[in-house]
Structure 1
Amino acid sequence: MPTGHENEGYRRLFETDGLTFGAGFPLTGANRSTPEPEAEIRLAKRAEAVGFDGLWARDVPTYWPKFGDAGQTFDPWPWLSHVAAHTDEIALGTSSIVLPLRHPIHVAKSAATVDRLSDGRLVLGVASGDRDPEYPAFGVDRDERGALFRDHVETLRTLWRDEFPEREGWWGRLDGALDVVPKPTAETIPLLPTGNARQSREWIAEHGDGWLFYHLPERTLTDYIDDWREAAGEKPFAMAVRAELADDPTAGPEQLHLGYRAGTEWFQDYFGRLAELGVDHVIVSIENDDPERGIERFAAAIIDAD
């Protein structure tokens, strides 16, 4: 799929006619405690070597045990800079930065820094958030998150594009006396609104560089993609899937939260159907007792078979 985008990460993920695959941190599966950085980096390098096109870090500002996980624990900006230093060409993504909980100048500067340090490999999933206790913790009105999200997207575009920008919002005011540097490697860092982000599909299609969504049943996914193509044309559609690889390659599917447990043969057919439906990229959370073996099995059976 031609993208016309100068960002290297975006081109790696989407400038192809086939389905591409990313792996989501924590690659070790330690999402309720702090993962071992050395093990995560070793697996990240292995994922790049065996053919994954993206590595995705979640933004979970605080740990809420009731929600069930802490993401990859590390703040996405220093973490992705660390990953960038240990990888070469694989895209680096966020899934996703919770914009209403962050100051847009900080997001603009941090994201552009990671983008520069990675030679343009950063792609930003952005979200309105879904962990209720975080809003009062950050002094943010939960009911205003939709409006805050829209303001942040427009502000980020302005801060990356303009020198000495003029922009005013709830967060403060820039009157043209200050610049926000560095600027990204391209005119903008690609933004993929995640889920509905409290926006209409038409707004996401107009203001996003693509759409990142959660796992959906195939019948529902078909309707979503058809509506997306009508609203957004060829802008890419990405989604997240949890995949637990059964030891038996012929095992049929068992429903999991946001994914499936199945043999590799079923997953081959499943991802083939996703490609036919028009999905452009899948972020896979691979469930396996041996994470490295899981990454290698998935690559050999699914990526190499594509």
Structure 2
Amino acid sequence: MARVFPEGRLVYGMQLPIQSQSTIYAEPWEATAGAVLAEVARAADRAGFGYVATCDHVAIPRGMAGPMSTVWYDPVATLSFLAGITEHVRLLSHVAIVGLRHPLITAKQYATLDHLSGGRLILGVGAGHVREEFEALGVDFERRGAVLDETLDALRVALGPEEYPEFEGESFSFRDLGQLPRPTQTRVPVWVGGSSPAAVRRAAVRGDGWLPQGDPRDRLPERIVRIRELREAAGVTRPIEIGAITEPLYVGEPGWDTGRRALTGKAEALAESLREYRALGVDQIQVRFRNRDVAELTDQIAAFGAEVAPLLND
């Protein structure tokens, strides 16, 4: 059993600002605001968020730096820092490209994080998409899916309770090599990111949760049905937690242009809209707030936790 949150309730989390600055979602003020990441994480912790999340890229090629930027904080370092300044919120890698690293390295890093945080880790994983990143690290980009599958199998063992884990695979093998500390959690939850057919299959068969890649609401039902079909066919009976990334939000009337896709308004209206996710079979929603500075962001986080969150499960 690796379910993170109670069944039957819609839980909310957020991808943190600043730590990754793709032009798809970063607000302009984030470029010069590194020191306030702690302030945002603490605000989410106080507001009852289920998790805070960070991304993962090792290096961005010059030709992709325009839209992606080169600002991508290391997830283990960032989540470890956040573990020390928060109390309750879960710590999610969304997503770690674990195929870039040997599973024993990944296990050592994330087991230590889980141990030091008192068992708050959620290991979100993905295949990656930047070819140059793989090539620079000597990893076969074309085999990244197969390597990720084997890595996940190896991590199940390496993040388990045994001090001397054993694994034999095509790309990795290890035995008689001890690693302490062990994770605090008996089974570290693994949430698989991505919406391609391969990612959906991976989430269904190997995952404890699914992190879609920004699928709009109308596409979620077919994906969720597919996940359940694949699990049944594979004989997988353990629980799975289905995620969704919501439209950008603003609690209240913004008085400025938040974009045509943003959901804005009173708490009751926002909660009514977000409850539709639960009706679709979603267990946790990842929210992102439109904002113009850190003060407005933390105000939005607090307002969501105080006004919208209590209405999500009415």
Using the aligned pairs only, state the percent identity. 26
Aligned-partner SS, 1:287: coil
Alignment check: 8 A CA contact 2:14 2:287 kept: yes
Deviations 1:48-68 (CA, angstroms, capped at 9, x unpaired): 112211111111212341442
CA contact (8 A) 2:194 2:211 kept: yes
Q: What residue number does 1:298 align with? A: 304
Decide whether aligned partners of structure 1 residues 201 and 274 sit closer, same or farther in structure 2, where only a CA change above 3 A counts. same
**Between 87-96 and 266-275, the greater mean CA deviation after superposition:** 266-275
One-letter amino acid of the structure 1 residue matched with residue 92 of structure 2: G
Distance 1:277 1:222 in 2: 6
Q: Secondary structure at the match of 1:295?
A: helix
Q: In structure 2, what is the Cα distance between the partners aligned to 1:138 and 1:170?
A: 19
Q: Is the 8 A contact 2:251 2:303 kept in 1?
A: no
Q: Does 1:268 align with 2:271?
A: yes
Question: What are the superposed Cα offsets for residues 12-54 of structure 1, whole Å, 9 maximum, x if unpaired?
Answer: xx21422111121126985577664541111111111122111
In the other structure, the counterpart of 1:222 is 221
For 1:36 and 1:288, locate their aligned partners in 2 and report how far apart those are by CA, in whole Å.
13
Corresponding position of 2:146: 147
| Contact kept? 2:20, 2:73, Cα under 8 Å | no
1:55 pairs with 2:52:
yes
The alignment partner of 2:142 has SS state of: helix
Equivalent position of 1:65 in the other structure = 65
1:19 aligns to what? 10
Task: Report the equivalent of 1:186.
Answer: 185
Unaligned runs of 5+ in 2: 24-29, 232-236
What is the aligned partner in structure 1 of residue 107 from structure 2?
108
Let me know the Cα RMSD of the aligned residues: 2.9
TM-score between the two structures when normalised by the length of structure 1:
0.84
Structure 1 residue matching 2:288: 3-state secondary structure: strand
Moved more, 230-239 or 213-222: 230-239
Aligned counterparts of 1:180 and 1:202: Cα–Cα separation in 2: 31
Matched residues, number:
291
1:1-306 correspondence to structure 2 within 5 Å: 4-5=1-2, 11=4, 14-26=5-17, 36-63=33-60, 64-70=64-70, 73-161=72-160, 162-169=162-169, 173-174=173-174, 176-196=175-195, 199=198, 201-232=200-231, 234-245=239-250, 248=253, 255=260, 260-265=261-266, 266-289=269-292, 290-306=296-312
Question: Which has the higher mean CA deviation after the structures are superposed, 278-287 or 58-67?
Answer: 58-67
Distance in 1, Cα, partners of 2:290 & 2:98? 29
Partner residue of 2:234?
none
Sort the Cα spacing of 1:200 and 1:303 in 2 relative to 1 into closer, same or farther, 3 A: closer
Q: Which runs of 5+ in 1 are unaligned?
A: none
Once residues 131 and 41 of structure 1 are traced to their aligned partners in structure 2, the CA distance between those partners, rounded to angstroms, is: 29
Provide the rounded CA distance (Å) in 1 between the counterparts of 2:282 and 2:202: 20
2:21–2:31 Cα contact (<8 Å) kept? yes
